[in-house]
Amino acid sequence: MNDFRRIAFGYTSAEAERSRDPGLLTEGYIDFKAASEEVVDGKKFLFLGYKGAGKSSIAERARLTLADSHSHFVKLISLADFPFTPFSKIVRGDAEPETKYPTAWSWILLIYLLESLATDEAVAHHDMVALQDTISAFRQMGLSPVAEIGSIVRTSAKNNFKLALPGKLAEYSWSGSEVRPASEIPDFVESLKELISGVRSDSKHILIVDGLDDILTSREIQYKSLSALVFEVGRLNLSFERQNVPAKIVLLCRTDLFERIPGANKNKIRHDSAVELDWYHDPRDPDQSRLVQIANLRTTRSLGPRVKLFEDFFPSSIDSREVRLSLLDMTRHTPRDFLRLLSHIQEFAVEGKLSAAAIKSGMREYSIKYFLPEIQDELSGYVTPEEISRIVSAFARLRKRDFRLSDLISLTTNSVKPLSAEKTYDIVEALFQCSAVGNIQHRPGGTTHYTFKYRNRHSSFNENEDIMLHRGLWKALNIM
């Protein structure tokens, strides 16, 4: 008999899937909006999605499927633990960040691109000596071959850092074997761009910048830096395209982080150059949900094509609700949420069909061990761990699924370790952005409308409306 416990629903991280069970990223993968194809062959470079939407899966799948390709060179650059303070010192002088930061990003990204080009035997250039000497120069400066972006940043930002420039670079305003001060990095970056514009190859070089899910902060320097990254990647890609350079830089970015960064042309980039990984589908038609489809696909991969996940293992309903609707309501409609829920239900499964009690026990474990910690992680950086603990405690003491903001403020401001009304508002607004809470609208005729960010990315928190905790939090907060 088929066993629900044998289904490989996957791991929390795409990195773990690629390492431990790479077939999850090939046979058990839905290429939502043809994102994997767009990375390699498309013009769009910005891939937006909330945490758990599958951004890193795109990167890991590209690395996996193109690992043995002789015509594609893929390099993953992680910004996890990125040193923003040293980054701000790479380009010296008193210029505004809007001028300095794009140059600093080009400096870093072009180092990676040059190292990738160095491994391509098909590369051609009208001045190969200049190209090879430039690659050698970065190696002599201790910046390449590169392994970790933080080392490039810290080395470049040192007070005693010098530009060592051996070889023939006369056409690009550099000549002879000489040492230049770090203050001339902007001039060198422009020369690098001109040099790289002459690169030709039958291969393609793809740099994928990931790790922005780990950047959670309210520091202005970080938002300005990330804004410069988005716009500079756009400029570099446009330059590569116009000059037929066989290269592309891909940026994987959290939707909420992108919406927080400054910039007057964000909407233009979003429309022209972004793929949005929005998995939400009206749950009243669960057969069309891609989350249900990816769960079915991974069931087929594990147990064979004759096995049907919900028909063979689940009851048709639970507490008088269609079972797939009940499961989807426990998530924010991301692959990670839905597959983690199924994995937690596996912990209570026995051979044969699942009982309602086993499903509910799995939901409870998911709420306690995955959903609440995931929400707490998303708040990190915006508020302190102590403030997160206090707001969670306030929700538990409130003992309500829905409430007014004034009810919550009354608790937080009058507790032993109080939070101000302003701080409580800020935290609840952040919770709305990560879909941990939503708004309730009571409409004429007795109808009720629920607004959650995962359903409509354009929605905004309204402090004057009732607030509802996401269903995935109820069990963790002991709310019935």
User: In whole angstroms, what is the distance from residue 401 CA to residue 436 CA?
Assistant: 12
- The helix or strand, by DSSP H or E, that contains position 377, with its residue range, turns out to be helix 372-379
pLDDT computed for residue 165 by the predictor: 66
> Which pLDDT does position 178 carry in this prediction?
59
Phi then psi for residue 9, to 5 deg, are: -80, -15
Query: Checking DSSP bridges between strand 204-210 and strand 72-78, what pairing results, if any?
Result: parallel
234-274 tens-digit pLDDT:
999 999 999 999 999 999 999 988 988 888 788 899 999 99
Q: What is the pLDDT of residues 60-88, one digit of tens each?
A: 999 999 988 889 999 999 998 899 889 99
pTM: 0.92
Q: What is the pLDDT of residue 391?
A: 95
Q: Which CATH architecture has domain 383-480?
A: Orthogonal Bundle (1.10)
On average, the pLDDT of the chain sits at 91
Strand 317-318 versus strand 321-322 pairing type: antiparallel
User: Which residue has 């509910």 as its token pair?
Assistant: 360
3-state secondary structure (DSSP) of residue 82: coil
At residue 379, the pLDDT reads 87
Per-residue pLDDT tens digits for 368-404: 999 999 999 988 878 888 999 999 999 999 999 999 9
pLDDT recorded at residue 383: 85
The answer to whether residue 126 scores a pLDDT higher than 50 is yes
Q: State the CB neighbour count (10 A cutoff) for residue 235.
A: 13
CA separation, residue 400 to residues 201, 468, 480 (Å): 62, 9, 8
Q: How wide is the angle at C-alpha 471 spanned by C-alphas 470 and 472, nearest 5°?
A: 90
CB-based burial of residue 361 (10 Å sphere; 0-12 exposed, 13-18 middle, 19+ buried)? Answer: middle
Burial call 3-34: b when 16+ CB within 10 Å, e when fewer: ebeebbbbbeebbebbeeebebbeebbbebbe
pLDDT of 344? 98
User: pLDDT digits over 5-34, tens only?
Assistant: 999 999 999 999 999 999 999 999 999 999
Which candidate, 471, 396, 458, 20, places its Cα nearest to that of 270? 458
Facing residues of 467 across strands?
A: 403, 439
Classify residue 355 by its DSSP letter.
Answer: P
Only one residue has tokens 């963790």, namely 476
Residue 293 is encoded by which pair of tokens? Answer: 């489809």
Please state, in angstroms and rounded to a whole number, the distance separating the CA atoms of residues 437 and 372: 12
Amino acid identity, position 334: T
Give the residue with greater pLDDT, 303 vs 173.
Answer: 303
Distance CA(446)–CA(219), nearest Å, equals: 44
**Count of other CB atoms within 10 angstroms of residue 440:** 16
Tell me how far apart the terminal alpha carbons of the chain are, to the nearest angstrom.
36
Question: How big is the chain by its Cα radius of gyration, in Å?
Answer: 25
Peptide bond into 145 cis (omega under 30): yes
What are phi and psi for residue 254, nearest 5 degrees?
-65, 135
pLDDT at 174: 45
For 94, other C-beta atoms within 10 Å of its C-beta total 5
Provide, rounded to the nearest whole percent, the portion of the chain with pLDDT above 90.
72
Q: In what order do the strands lie in the sheet with 46-49?
A: 72-78, 204-210, 247-254, 46-49, 274-276
Task: Supply φ then ψ for residue 322, to 5 degrees.
Answer: -55, 130
Q: Which pLDDT does position 285 carry in this prediction?
A: 84
Listed by start position, the domains of the chain span: 31-276, 279-375, 383-480
Asked if 154 and 182 count as a contact pair (C-beta separation under 8 A), the reply is no
Which run of H or of E encompasses 360?
Answer: helix 356-365
At 322, which helix (H) or strand (E)? strand 321-322
